[in-house]
Structure formats: C-alpha cells, structure tokens
C-alpha cells in the first residue's frame, strides 16, 4: 500500500515532466501543423546549457537563463529554417525537424563530447523531503512537481484569459482572418515556437540532474513525446495532460509490478514445459511486465489510432 | 513544364507511359558488370554491395513516400523481417533443404510482403500523420520484440548463417566477394526494373492520384485505402528482397536491421536523393553510403557533415540532389544551358573553398580537443601543420568568410542567369 | 651516363625498400565506435591502444628487428553491419590483427565473419583479439581458433564477485537487476546459481530484466529494490543504464553496496561523484589504485602526460598489446597468423597492472587476477574523468576461475 502511494507520486513526476514537453509540442503542432521531431533535442539543449551555466554560477541562474537561450534558438530556427521550408509543405517541414534533431545531437557531441556529464541536483534541494516505508522522496522531485504545475497554470491562464492568448487561439483556427485583422501571424508563430522550445528547454534543465545529461537523452525521450500527444489527440492541451499522466503511471506501474506470463499461463490451465529452455515458447513463458513496460505506450498508441484516429481528446484528424 | 521524358529520371511524376527507356537500363547493367574491373578489392565490392542493398531498400521506401505520399517511420520492419526469415531459410539449406542461393531473395520478398499485408491491413486505412505514427509505433514494437523473442531473432547476437552451404550454381559456391557481387547486382537490376515497371502499371498510377488528391481518386471509383494497401504490400515485397540481399552479404541479421535508426536512415537517404524521381533514392543511397562508410574512414565528424548536408538539402533543394540535376533539364532542352556555364564556373571555386575551409575549421577544433598532449601535428588535405598554432585556424576562418562573402555577391548574378536560362519566352529575348 | 643510370636505379631501390619498410609495420585494426552514443568508450579505448603500442613496443625499438605496431581506428558505429564492412576495409589495408571490445553482439558478428574469412581466404588470415566483449559464448559454444579474449568473461567476473559477497556476512538479501539481452541474462543466471552454491542462506529478493537503453527513469525499479529490503544489488548494466539505475537507487535511500561490472570511466565516475562513494563496487581485472608496481605507475603517468583527460580504465588493453608482441617474438614472425595464434595458446605473461596472466589453450580465455574495487575519493592515486574519484581495490581473487569449465571444442587448422 505504501509502495502504491510512492508509485503514484513517482508516476506523477514522470507524467508532469512529459507534459512540459508535450504542451509545447502540441501548441506548435496546432499552430503550424508540423510535428516537431526536434522537440526533445531542445530538451537536451536545455540540460546542456544549464550544465554549462551551473559550472560558473550554480544551478539557479541556469534554471532561468538556459530555457530563455533555448527559446531564442528555437525562435531563430523557426524564423530562418522552418519558415523557409514551410512553403514546400508539411512533409519537408517534418523532415526538416527530423534532420534538425540529428544535427543538434551531433553539435552537442561536438562541443561537450560523448560522455555523461556530471550535472547534479543543487545542494539546497539535495535532501529527502519525506519517506514512506523506507522509500525516501527527494525534495528535488517536489520542486519538479511545483515547477510543472506552475507552468501548466500559467499556460492555461495566458491562453484563456489574456489578449495574446486569444490571438493565439484565433490564429490556430483562422490564421488568414487573424492576419487580416492586423495581427502579425508569422510573429505569433515565431513566438509560439520560441515559447514551446523554451518549455522543452526548462524540462531539460530540471530533468537533466535526475535522468542524466548525455547525448542520447533526446532520442530516449523523443519518440515517446510524440506517442503521448498522438494518444492525447493532436492539438489538445488537456489531451496532452491526460496522456502524459497516463503514460507516466503506466510506465511506473509496469516497472514496479512483476506480473509474469508464467503465472497468467498456468492460471489459464497451461503447464510449463520443463526445461523451458528447450521449448519453442520459452520467450513467452519467461516474459514479465517490466520487460515490456517501456513499449506499452507504443502499443497503446497503435490501438488508439486504429480505433480512434483523432486520439483520445482530439477534435480533428491530423 | 516538361510533359514526358525518355529517361527514368522523371518517372513516376510524368503521366505518359514511355517504354523507350531501355537504354539507361542497358547502360546500367553493362556498367555494373564491368565495375569489378575498376574496383576489384574486397572492401570496394563490400561497399558497392552495401550501396546496392540500400538502393533496393530506398527504392521500395520511395514507393510509399514518393509515389504514394505515405511517410513511414518503420520501413526497416519489412526489410528486417524479410532478412530474418531469409536467414532462417539459409540455415534450413545448411540443414539439407535444396535451394540455390540466388533464389533466396524471392523468399525474403514473400515474407516482407506477407508482413506488409498484415500490418498494412490496419495501418493504411488513413494517410498522413495517422499512418506515420502507426508506422512509428509498429516499428518500435517489432524492434522491441526482436530483443524479447530470442528464439526467432537471436537476441542481441542476432541470427547468423553460412551462404556457401547450398548447391553450387554454375560452379559458384558464393564464398568469394566477387560472386556475391554479381548475385547482388543481378537482384538489384531485377528489383529496380520491377519497381520501375510497377510505377508504370495502372496501380502505380492510381497511387500517384491518391497521393495528390484522395477524394478525387475516390470519386473515380478507387478505394484510396485499398490503393495505399496495394502500394504498401508491393513496397514490403521489395524491402524483403533487400533484407534477403543483406542476409546473403553479411550472413548475419541483428536488432539493428529492425530498429528505428535504420528506418530513419532510409527516410534520410530517400529524401537526400529526391523523392519525386525514380532515380532519386538511387542517388541518395550512393551518396549516403559514401558519406557514412567512406567519409567515416577519414573523419569522426561524418555525422555532423551529414546532418548539415541533409538540412541544407531540405532547406535549399527540397527536391533532393536529383531535383537539383533535374532543374537543369528545361534549360538544357531549350538550349539555354550555356547561360549558366560562366556563373556556375565562377561559383565553383568559392563554393569548394567554403566547404573545405568550413570543414577544416571544425576538424582543427576537434583535433585540439581530442588529440593527446604533444600530438599537435595534424594533416588535412595533404597539408601537415600544427593544430595548436594560430595561423591554420585563422586561415580557415578567413578563407571561409571570404568565400561565403564572394558566394553571396555572386548569388544575384547566378539568379539572373538562372532566370534568363529558364525563361520560356522567345529565344534571344 | 652510367652513373646516372646507377643513380636512378639506386633511388628506385631506395624508394622500393622505403615502401617495404613502411609495409612492415604491423597494422592493428581497432574496430569500435568512434562516433555516436558509444564513442566515449571507443575513443578512450583507442587512446589506450595507441599509447600501449608506443610505450610497450615502438619506443623500445619495436619487435623482431625493428618491426613496429600501428594502431588504426575503424569506426563501426557499434553496428554489426558497419563492423563487417570495416573489417573488409581493414583487411584490404593490410591489417591482420583485429581488436574489438564494445558490444558482444558486434564481437559475435566479427568472430563469425573472421572464421569464415580465414577459411575462404587462407592467404590473408586474421586474428581477433577481443579486449572487452564478455559474452561467455565467445569462448564456449562459439569459440574458434582465431579468437582470443583478454578480458575475463561474465561468468568469471561473477564467480569473483560472489566470492567476495560470500565473505560478507552482513549480506542476507540480494537484488539482481540487468538489461534484457544476452549479457544481462548471463549475469543474472550466473549470480543466482553461484550464490546458491556459495551462500545458500542468501535470499534473492528480486531478479529482473529491464529493456536495454529504453528506460527513462529508474525510480520505480529503485523503489522496488528499497522495498524488498535488499542488502546489496548486483547489476551488469552499462552506459546510461548504469548511471540511471545507480543514481536512482542511491537517491531513494539505498545504502548497501551495488556490485557492478561497468561503473567507471566514460564520464560515469564523474557523474556518480559523491553520491556513489561507498556504494559502487566494481569487478575488474588490473589494479589501478593503489598502483600495482612502479612499472604500472610509470605507464599511467606516461599515459596522462599524453592524454591528460584520458582514463586507463581497461588495463587489459596493455596486456593485449604486450602478449601479442611476445607471441610474435616467440613465433619469430609478424605475419603468420597461425604461428602467432599457436604461440599465444598457453602463454604465460606478467600483467602490466599486476598478477600473472595465462592464455588458456582449450578455449582462448585469459586467466588472470580479479579485483573488486570501490568508487571513492580517498587514497586513489589515479582518478577517472578528471574528477576527484577513482576506483580503489578492496580485495583480490588470484587466478580467478582458473579451472572454470568450457564447452569449447577448438578446431585447429
């Protein structure tokens, strides 16, 4: 029971972290219709920038400066790269971001090398906030929850209550009309891309110390971010939130509970072949839930797409 | 606009069936047969075979992307599964099954086709993002299975076999690289011709129609979903052939053949070459293999250069390297190509200098960081110098800046010449 | 006229012999990742090989009347396919000795390909010196005459680890966790069977596999480990999976030892830093701290003078180079692969970082001392990753598993 509570909290942290990436990605998608394949690369850039800054000034300045730097780079890439490709259509746009992801990984390796970086939790937060049945819950994770929730509330407020938010929402659905009303839609696009990538950068800053800062960190997270927003429904902020939390919990629980295929098969009435190593079904018999945990989101996505192509909360198809 | 073409360069985009294009195929076949006279070493043949496999794979991928408008992130699945099944068939041959090695690719193709039939039954229902994401999901699932289902995929070690165990064909046991080379190009030609002819069949034509406008094709009475499914199955067949050729060449298949990195690479290869042209993937496969395997021999930064080349291609030549060449067909036909010779010649040197100096800048930086203390001597483009000294770096930067400046200045002139060359008005105007 | 002719002739001969002298260099093809995510380990391995070839052979005037070693790096991008292409390129460029270590998958592909190559091309036979791929199969079911392993295999390492665990009375419960592939499974199977033989009272409270390179957050695993009440953890994880697991386990309040195979160098030591102190235990061959001898000290100092940021985290690389040179001297040839391989079989050799080495003839597995070291910043002369932390040897198992059984049926040419 106590482990269950810990797991729910851990899943929440994973889910919220995922949401910080997904919210930016889904905003960019709804606005420009392009799936930004390089989104997780901006997350990686955030972690590397923050590490570099933390060497000089410590963690806290990096928390603010690194996301801004990532956002500026994102906006510049939108202005001078993506906008140029935009006129060729969506597939070249997507392929552009795909190439961008490759290039960012190479550039990061060029400057920071290929090793793991010693980017660590700030000392002020390096203690256990509380502990449940021997499992301590680090204060840093509490901090992560606060940051993520803070981001979500701010985003929701800006999008629904402010003038700029209204413009963005309008530009999502009727870009021409908004343009004709005198708003600078390309500037809005650039701003949204910048803010979206800055949020990915922020996620990198706070996730780097606990998930590791290394050149493979973008690839590790890259495709799961897409899976999340596709399951949630492209362009839906609430869908992204629900799907992020869902995937956070699925992954946590799948890793925790050692459901074994052997138990399932025997309870259905099969007998285990002995020795199992000679059986053609050896791999099925030895299968466990933690083994397949990380691929469950992909399975979920395929099922969702086959039966509900617009995703759980999506209103329109692709 | 050009309406038809005698060369396969623009096949799949033009509307007229033109079977007068036997000549390029004959030239290609003769060149391939004579190639070992020029490059006979084992490593050269290995690399050429790798190109051939990539060409078949990329062509099959372009049946989806270029001809059918379907963006797939999991195409390695069909090549990989075709390859794994071929490997098991090859091991059955070792166990006593009578099957000459040259027939193995048929089995690879059939297995690839079977899985494309199965997975296509649900993934091709929609086009666009839904298709792309399902292909990503299926790709990831199959790649994960390859590590979990050890009995079939062999886990991390993969499945290996011996190609020389089958019956000899005309006295060949396929132990030597040269014999494998001829087998590979034989299938390369068959597969390429097959895919070319497929693009000329009514089904191939309808795939183009569905790509361009689903609804209109539907009004014509074609189920867009079935058309996509057909293309998908055909593409799976040829991907499976590529898988079998891989099995024959390397005698081993591993998780690498199924994973997303391989699927992503083939997208890159195809796009680099140009999706709108039949020969696009061929050009892409050759350039990519050269960059990855041959440039990789000289520099560890090949990935960086590849990334830059790829982004530059998407940004400046969205129709790929082949598109860049094809752009010049119109001026050529109008006899105005001469307008471009002088500006291009002027652009050539600064462009080469910009590339070389840019690369030099990065190589020097890389050398300073990676080489040992006291090991500051590096050689680049046949010049040996001290990487820690100031002048090589300064030279690289100055040359780069100057050549980029010159390119910038020349670009207006090139553009004017280009407009002149492509102007379809009266001659001499 | 005559003199000119003579001059031309002598220059031509000089040019020819100069070419020949160059060709006499023994090319050692280093086929490992030099780009991509695993390049950190690969490039550091190449640095150690380059330095070892210079320090142990070339600077001493070479072997067999001045023949020198030349280590050439071939980037295999950790892909089996690329490895096989690079193998052909290396053979074409005259390399007859292949060294590789990262990934048993690649090693399996290479040993298979080299075996076939040597059978099909008796004129250019190649030896495969494996310095780090530890899949036991390579010296058991898949052994062949051309393959030699200079690292201890996974079973030998686990034998040594469980010896040390068996002596620690405080350990009553153990959690085994690893990556879901051949090596992870081999580690888990060996740990369970050896522990039950040596310490039947120890309870295995967890034994599980997670997908390799796919886990973003190891917290759920760490929770299970802490909740299981385990006193120690055994894992074969490497790379980011090692760091992720180790950090998560320590952060969630686990205080016992974590027994590992690959938790040093390539940035991992620096990234563990203070958190790993007292927790991380590492099984390895070759003793770095305290230095095994003055010779070892001199070697490491020389290495640091050339690569200040480098680590000697694979002392076996030095043994590989040294034993290859010794075998060539013994066989009296630097080209005849069969003679050199025969000379290597059964060879004994003093290890550069301590201990006596013996290349077992029946399976080509090197038998050597095994050390269990601790990740710490106290009493380490040579740290890793330019950090304050290094590996200090706690206990040593002499000639570990010298009599371990093998299923190898060696076919000699």
pLDDT single digits (tens) B221-262? 788 888 889 999 999 999 999 999 999 998 889 888 898 889
Whether residues B173 and B234 share a domain: the answer is yes
Min Cα–Cα distance to chain C from B303, Å: 8
Q: How confident is the prediction along chain C (413 residues), in pLDDT tens digits per residue?
A: 444 444 444 444 444 333 344 447 889 999 998 877 777 788 888 989 999 999 898 888 888 888 889 998 888 888 888 888 889 888 888 889 999 988 888 898 899 899 989 988 888 899 999 998 888 888 988 899 999 999 988 889 998 888 888 888 888 999 999 888 778 888 898 899 988 888 888 888 988 888 877 788 888 888 888 888 889 999 988 888 888 898 888 888 888 899 998 888 878 888 888 888 888 898 888 888 888 888 888 888 888 888 888 888 888 999 999 999 999 988 888 888 899 999 999 899 998 888 889 999 889 999 999 999 998 888 888 888 888 898 898 888 888 888 888 888 888 88
Give the separation between CA B325 and CA B3, rounded to whole angstroms.
Answer: 17
* % of chain B at pLDDT higher than 90: 22
Contact B43 C88 (CB under 8 A): yes
Q: Which tokens go with B274?
A: 């140009």
C43, C210, C266: residue with CB nearest A290: C210
Whether residues B105 and B166 share a domain: the answer is yes
Contact B252 C84 (CB under 8 A): yes
Give the separation between CA B83 and CA C81, rounded to whole angstroms.
Answer: 13
For residue A184, pLDDT over 50 is answered with yes
Contact A226 B136 (CB under 8 A): yes
Total domains in chain C come to 2
Whether residues C386 and C351 share a domain: the answer is no
Contact A212 C253 (CB under 8 A): no
Whether B332 contacts C5, CB under 8 Å: no
Whether residues B415 and B281 share a domain: the answer is no
Substitution target in B71, B126, B133 with the highest count of A β-carbons within 10 Å is B133
Contact B134 A305 (CB under 8 A): yes
Contact B176 C120 (CB under 8 A): yes
Instruction: Give the residue from C313, C396, C410 showing the smallest Cα distance to C359.
Output: C410
Whether residues B354 and B265 share a domain: the answer is no
Lowest mean pLDDT among A58-72, A126-140, B257-271, C90-104: A126-140
Give the separation between CA B363 and CA B183, rounded to whole angstroms.
Answer: 40
B43, B162, B254: residue with CB nearest C116: B162
Whether residues B97 and B171 share a domain: the answer is yes
Give the separation between CA A96 and CA A90, rounded to whole angstroms.
Answer: 10
Chain B residues in contact with A306 by the CB 8 A cut-off are 122, 125, 134
For residue B313, is it within any domain? no
Which positions ≥6 away from A271 have C-beta within 8 Å?
A: none
pLDDT for the residue numbered B374: 66
A291, A295, A305: residue with CB nearest B130: A305
Chain B residues in contact with C89 by the CB 8 A cut-off are 43, 46-47, 297
Q: Which residue of B has its CA nearest to A283?
A: B149
SS3 percent helix, strand, coil of chain B, rounded to 5, is: 75, 5, 25
Contact C85 B46 (CB under 8 A): yes
Contact C253 A295 (CB under 8 A): no
* % of chain A at pLDDT higher than 70: 97
pTM for this entry? 0.84
Contact A306 B366 (CB under 8 A): no
Contact A290 C209 (CB under 8 A): yes
pLDDT for the residue numbered A316: 57
Chain C: list its partners (3+ Cβ pairs within 8 Å): A, B
Average pLDDT rounded to a whole number, residues B111-122: 93
Whether residues B295 and B355 share a domain: the answer is no
Whether residues B129 and B272 share a domain: the answer is yes
For residue C115, is it within any domain? yes
Whether residues C165 and C80 share a domain: the answer is no
For residue B180, pLDDT over 60 is answered with yes
Whether residues C48 and C138 share a domain: the answer is yes
Average pLDDT rounded to a whole number, residues A182-202: 87
Instruction: Give the residue from C352, C357, C350, C370 showing the smallest Cα distance to C293.
Output: C352
For residue B341, pLDDT over 50 is answered with yes
Substitution target in C33, C80, C307 with the highest count of B β-carbons within 10 Å is C80
Whether residues C144 and C163 share a domain: the answer is no
Chain B: list its partners (3+ Cβ pairs within 8 Å): A, C
Average pLDDT rounded to a whole number, residues A192-209: 91
Contact C251 A210 (CB under 8 A): yes
Lowest mean pLDDT among A293-302, B23-32, C320-329: B23-32
Average pLDDT rounded to a whole number, residues B274-278: 86
Chain B residues in contact with A220 by the CB 8 A cut-off are none
For residue C411, is it within any domain? no
pLDDT single digits (tens) B72-94? 999 999 999 999 999 999 999 88
Instruction: Give the residue from A3, B280, B410, B335 showing the smallest Cα distance to C222.
Output: A3
**What single string gives the DSSP state of each residue in A249-288?**
HHHHHHHHS--BHHHHHHHHT----SSGGGSTTHHHHT-B
Whether residues C266 and C345 share a domain: the answer is no
Whether residues B148 and B215 share a domain: the answer is yes
Whether residues C30 and C118 share a domain: the answer is yes
Cα–chain center distance at C56: 18
pLDDT band at A26 (very low <50, low <70, confident <90, very high): confident
Total domains in chain B come to 2
pLDDT band at A210 (very low <50, low <70, confident <90, very high): confident
pLDDT band at A200 (very low <50, low <70, confident <90, very high): very high
Chain A: list its partners (3+ Cβ pairs within 8 Å): B, C
Cα–chain center distance at C79: 18
Whether residues B265 and B341 share a domain: the answer is no
Min Cα–Cα distance to chain C from B255, Å: 10
Could you state, in order of their start, the residue ranges of all structural domains in chain A? Answer: 2-217
The rounded mean pLDDT for chain A is 85
User: B-C interface: how many C-beta pairs under 8 angstroms?
Assistant: 111
Whether residues C117 and C258 share a domain: the answer is no
Q: Which residue of C has its CA nearest to B296?
A: C75
Helix (H, G, I), strand (E, B) or coil at A241: helix
Whether residues B254 and B346 share a domain: the answer is no
Contact B314 A223 (CB under 8 A): no
Chain A residues in contact with B301 by the CB 8 A cut-off are 106, 110
pLDDT for the residue numbered C286: 84
pLDDT for the residue numbered B243: 94
Containing domain of residue B116, as a range? Answer: 8-307
In the DSSP assignment, the letter for residue A234 is: T
Whether A255 contacts A290, CB under 8 Å: yes
Chain C residues in contact with A123 by the CB 8 A cut-off are none
Contact B256 C81 (CB under 8 A): yes
Whether residues B242 and B198 share a domain: the answer is yes
C211, C217, C229: residue with CB nearest A291: C211
Min Cα–Cα distance to chain A from C180, Å: 7
Assign residue B69 a region: left if phi > 0, alpha if psi is -120 to 50, beta otherwise?
Answer: left
Lowest mean pLDDT among B24-28, B62-66, C34-38: C34-38
Question: In this structure, which long-range contacts are made by residues A57-60, counting pairs with CB atoms below 8 Å and at least 24 apart in sequence?
Answer: A58/A122, A59/A121, A59/A122, A60/A122
pLDDT single digits (tens) B149-162? 888 888 777 888 88
For residue B17, pLDDT over 70 is answered with no
Is any Cβ of chain B less than 8 angstroms from the Cβ of A81? yes
Contact C271 A118 (CB under 8 A): yes
Q: ipTM score here? A: 0.83
pLDDT single digits (tens) B347-403? 888 888 888 888 888 888 888 777 766 667 777 777 777 777 778 888 888 888 888
Helix (H, G, I), strand (E, B) or coil at C365: strand
Containing domain of residue C349, as a range? Answer: 2-152+297-367
For residue C408, is it within any domain? no
- Measured torsion, CA atoms of residues A220, A221, A224, A228, in degrees rounded to the nearest 10: 170
Min Cα–Cα distance to chain A from C385, Å: 9
Instruction: Give the residue from A23, A45, A25, A181 showing the smallest Cα distance to A101.
Output: A45
Whether residues C143 and C160 share a domain: the answer is no
Whether residues C349 and C383 share a domain: the answer is no
Contact C209 A288 (CB under 8 A): yes
Q: For the domain that residue C180 is a member of, what is the CATH number?
A: 3.40.50.2300
Contact B150 A99 (CB under 8 A): no
For residue C402, is it within any domain? no
For residue B427, is it within any domain? no
Give the separation between CA A73 and CA A209, rounded to whole angstroms.
Answer: 22
Whether residues C115 and C193 share a domain: the answer is no
Helix (H, G, I), strand (E, B) or coil at C279: coil
For residue B317, is it within any domain? no
Whether residues B407 and B273 share a domain: the answer is no
A98, A106, A298: residue with CB nearest B137: A298
Chain C residues in contact with A216 by the CB 8 A cut-off are 37, 213, 240
For residue B11, pLDDT over 50 is answered with no
Question: Cβ-count burial of A161 within 10 angstroms (0-12 exposed, 13-18 middle, 19+ buried)?
Answer: exposed
């Amino acid at each position: 029971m106590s482990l269950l509570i810990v797991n729910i909290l851990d899943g929440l942290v994973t889910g919220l972290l995922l949401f910080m990436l997904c919210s930016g990605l889904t905003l960019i998608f709804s606005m420009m219709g392009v799936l930004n394949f390089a989104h997780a690369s901006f997350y990686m850039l955030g972690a590397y920038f923050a590490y570099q800054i933390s060497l000089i000034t410590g963690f806290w300045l990096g928390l603010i400066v690194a996301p801004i730097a990532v956002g500026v780079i994102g906006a510049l890439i939108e202005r001078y790269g993506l906008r140029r490709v935009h006129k060729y259509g969506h597939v070249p746009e997507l392929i552009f971001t795909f190439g961008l992801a490759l290039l960012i990984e190479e550039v990061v390796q060029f400057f920071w090398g290929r090793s793991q970086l010693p980017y660590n939790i700030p000392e002020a937060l390096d203690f256990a906030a509380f502990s449940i049945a021997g499992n301590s819950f680090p204060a840093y994770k509490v901090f992560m929850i606060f940051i993520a929730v803070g981001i979500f509330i701010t985003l929701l407020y800006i999008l629904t209550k402010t003038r700029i938010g209204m413009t963005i929402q309008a530009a999502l659905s009727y870009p021409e009309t908004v343009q004709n009303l005198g708003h600078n839609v390309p500037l809005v696009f650039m701003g949204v891309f910048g803010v979206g990538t800055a949020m990915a950068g922020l996620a990198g800053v706070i996730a780097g110390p606990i998930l590791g800062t290394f050149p493979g960190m973008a690839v590790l997270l890259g495709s799961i971010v897409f899976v999340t927003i596709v399951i949630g429904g492209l362009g839906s902020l609430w869908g992204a939130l629900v799907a992020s939390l869902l995937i956070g919990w699925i992954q946590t629980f799948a890793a925790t509970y050692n459901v074994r295929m052997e138990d399932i098969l025997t309870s259905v009435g099969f007998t285990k072949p002995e020795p199992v190593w000679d059986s053609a079904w050896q791999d099925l018999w030895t299968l466990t839930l933690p083994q397949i945990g990380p691929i469950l989101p992909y399975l979920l996505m395929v099922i969702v797409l086959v039966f509900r192509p617009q995703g759980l909360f999506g209103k329109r198809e692709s | 606009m050009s309406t038809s073409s005698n060369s396969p360069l623009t096949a799949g985009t033009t509307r007229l069936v033109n079977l007068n294009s036997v000549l390029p195929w004959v030239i290609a076949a003769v060149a391939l047969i004579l190639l070992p006279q020029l490059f006979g070493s084992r490593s050269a043949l290995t690399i050429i075979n790798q190109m051939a496999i990539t060409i078949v794979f990329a062509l099959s991928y372009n049946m989806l992307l270029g001809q059918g408008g379907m963006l797939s992130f999991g195409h390695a699945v069909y090549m990989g599964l075709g390859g794994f099944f071929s490997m098991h068939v090859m091991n059955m041959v070792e166990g006593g099954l009578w099957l000459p090695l040259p027939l193995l690719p048929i089995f690879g193709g059939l297995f690839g086709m079977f899985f494309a039939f199965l997975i296509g039954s649900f993934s091709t229902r929609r086009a666009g993002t839904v298709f792309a994401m399902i292909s990503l999901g299926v790709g990831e699932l199959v790649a994960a299975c390859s590590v979990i289902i050890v009995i079939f995929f062999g886990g991390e070690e993969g499945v290996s076999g011996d190609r020389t165990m089958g019956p000899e064909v005309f006295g060949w046991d396929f132990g030597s690289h040269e014999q494998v080379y001829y087998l590979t190009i034989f299938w390369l030609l068959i597969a390429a011709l097959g895919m070319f002819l497929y693009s000329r069949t009514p089904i191939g034509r309808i795939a183009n129609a569905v790509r361009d406008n689903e609804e209109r094709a539907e009004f014509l009475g074609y189920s867009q979903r079935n058309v996509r499914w057909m293309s998908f199955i055909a593409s799976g067949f040829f991907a499976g052939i590529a898988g079998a050729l891989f099995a024959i060449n390397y005698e081993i298949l591993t998780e690498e053949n199924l994973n997303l990195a391989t699927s992503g690479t083939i997208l890159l290869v195809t796009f680099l070459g140009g999706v709108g042209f039949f020969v696009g993937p061929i050009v892409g496969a050759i350039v990519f293999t050269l960059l990855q395997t041959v440039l990789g021999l000289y520099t560890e930064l090949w990935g960086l250069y590849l990334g830059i080349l790829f982004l530059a291609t998407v940004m400046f030549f969205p129709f790929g390297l082949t598109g860049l060449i094809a752009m010049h067909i119109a001026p050529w036909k109008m006899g105005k190509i001469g307008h471009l010779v002088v500006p291009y010649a002027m652009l050539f040197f600064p462009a080469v200098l910009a590339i070389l100096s840019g690369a030099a800048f990065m190589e020097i930086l890389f050398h300073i960081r990676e080489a040992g203390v006291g090991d500051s001597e590096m050689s680049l483009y046949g010049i040996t110098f001290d990487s820690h000294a100031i002048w090589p770096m300064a030279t690289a930067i100055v040359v780069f800046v100057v050549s980029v400046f010159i390119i910038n200045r020349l670009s207006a002139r090139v553009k004017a010449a280009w407009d002149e060359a492509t102007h379809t008005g009266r001659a001499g105007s | 006229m005559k003199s000119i002719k003579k001059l031309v002739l002598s220059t031509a001969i000089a040019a020819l012999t100069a070419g020949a002298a160059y060709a006499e260099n023994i090319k050692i093809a280093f086929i490992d990742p030099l780009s991509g995510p695993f390049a950190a380990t690969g490039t550091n391995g190449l640095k150690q090989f380059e330095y070892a070839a210079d320090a142990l052979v070339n600077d001493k005037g070479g072997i067999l009347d001045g023949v020198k070693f030349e280590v050439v790096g071939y980037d295999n991008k950790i892909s089996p396919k690329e490895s096989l292409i690079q193998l052909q390129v290396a053979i074409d460029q005259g390399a007859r000795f292949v060294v590789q270590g990262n990934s048993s998958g690649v090693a399996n592909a290479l040993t298979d390909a080299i075996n076939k190559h040597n059978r099909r091309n008796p004129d250019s036979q190649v030896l495969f010196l494996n310095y780090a791929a530890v899949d036991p199969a390579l010296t058991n079911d898949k052994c062949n005459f051309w393959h030699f392993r200079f690292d201890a295999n996974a079973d030998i390492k686990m034998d040594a680890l469980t010896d040390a665990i068996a002596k620690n009375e405080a350990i009553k419960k153990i959690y085994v966790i690893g990556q879901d592939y051949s090596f992870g499974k081999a580690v888990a199977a060996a740990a369970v069977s050896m522990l039950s033989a040596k310490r039947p009272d120890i309870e295995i409270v967890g034994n599980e596999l997670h997908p390799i390179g796919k886990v973003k957050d190891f917290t759920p695993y760490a929770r299970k480990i802490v909740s299981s009440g385990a006193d120690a953890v055994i894992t074969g994880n490497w790379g980011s999976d090692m760091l992720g697991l180790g950090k998560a386990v320590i952060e969630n309040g686990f205080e016992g030892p974590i027994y590992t195979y690959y938790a040093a160098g390539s940035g991992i030591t620096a990234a563990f830093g203070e958190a790993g102190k007292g927790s991380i235990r590492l099984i390895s061959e070759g003793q770095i701290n305290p230095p095994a001898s003055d010779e070892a000290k001199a070697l490491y100092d020389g290495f640091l003078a050339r690569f200040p940021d480098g680590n000697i985290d694979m002392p076996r690389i030095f043994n590989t180079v040294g034993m290859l040179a010794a075998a060539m001297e013994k066989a009296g040839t630097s080209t005849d692969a069969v003679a050199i391989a025969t000379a290597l079989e059964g060879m004994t050799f003093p290890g550069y970082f301590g201990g006596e080495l013996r290349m077992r003839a029946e399976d080509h597995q090197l038998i050597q001392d095994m050390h269990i070291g601790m990740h710490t910043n106290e009493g380490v002369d040579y740290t890793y990753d330019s950090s304050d932390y290094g590996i200090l040897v706690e206990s040593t198992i002499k000639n570990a598993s010298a009599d371990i059984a093998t299923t190898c049926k060696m076919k000699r040419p």
